[in-house]
Amino acid sequence: MSATAHGRGSSTGYAEKAERLLADVAAAQRTGAAGFGLAKKTSNVFRDRGEKRAPRVDLSHFNQVIAVEPAAGTVEAEGMATYADLADAALAHAAMPAVVPQLKSITLGGAVAGVGIEATSFRQGLVHDTIVAMDILTGDGRIVRCTADNEHRDLFRGFPNSYGTLGYALRLTARTLPVRRYVHVRHDRHADAARYRSSAGASCSSPPVRAPAAPRVAAAISWIGTLGVRSAKSSPFASWYVSANCV
């Protein structure tokens, strides 16, 4: 995928998919259906999911990365794009999503609606803090583009942690960070909490961030990741995970 060659969603057929979706939702509403629920093949929320009779809207085909724009520091993707695909696409452009949740099947839309966090969050915030814009399918069958300062800003601000109650994110633009090819990882073992805390605080001190609270454990290990250019050895998983999570 080239960084900017595609128009907004044109490479993935986003516009056509969105148009078809609106027509399907309008048809369902004409039958008098009270509402619709999300049909999705994977989930990272473990809970009892009894069969529900509500009509379902299948958004699993809204799963493409649309464009990585390293110069703008953004990646644009459909709501069901997984973080594995997002990270792969961004890493090909020496960038990473600013926060990359650990599980590969977590989707961009799900991480905003259900709240995502990972190692870089200590500087970057939660996944939703990295979102610049969202197209959201609302319960009344519209797709609205929300940003922090447009007429849909209330929806933009209320959407994180809404678990699908306010609508479904179909397309999102998220911030990225530049990366280097390798990460040097150091494991420091600490036998007491005070030393762990002061060491972790020192590692995080440029730019300064708050030191982590003292853990209530007898020993702790801190993982210090530093972006670099050479690696003596790496495994595909380690390089995917570590590259995507340490800055």
The binding site for ligand FAD (CB under 6 A) comprises: 38, 40, 42-46, 79, 101-103, 105-107, 109-111, 113-114, 116-118, 163-164, 168-169
Of 70 and 159, nearer to ligand FAD (C-beta) is 159
H-helix or E-strand containing 168? strand 168-178
As a residue count, the chain comes to 247
- Dig out the tokens for 10 from the structure: 């044109």
Of 70 and 99, nearer to ligand FAD (C-beta) is 99
- Dig out the tokens for 71 from the structure: 């110069």
- Shortest CB 149 distance to ligand FAD, Å: 21
Radius of gyration in angstroms for the set of CA atoms belonging to the chain, rounded to a whole number: 20
- Shortest CB 163 distance to ligand FAD, Å: 3
CA-based end-to-end distance of the chain: 24
Of 125 and 201, nearer to ligand FAD (C-beta) is 125
Contacts of 238 (CB under 8 A, 6+ apart): none
- Shortest CB 164 distance to ligand FAD, Å: 3
Residue type for 213, please?
Answer: A
- Shortest CB 2 distance to ligand FAD, Å: 25
Interatomic CA distance for residues 87 and 93, integer angstroms: 10
For 109, the 3-state DSSP assignment is helix
Of 46 and 237, nearer to ligand FAD (C-beta) is 46
Of 30 and 41, nearer to ligand FAD (C-beta) is 41
- Shortest CB 194 distance to ligand FAD, Å: 28
Closest CA to 97 of 11, 179, 29, 159: 179
- Dig out the tokens for 98 from the structure: 């600013």
Of 70 and 81, nearer to ligand FAD (C-beta) is 81
- Shortest CB 146 distance to ligand FAD, Å: 12
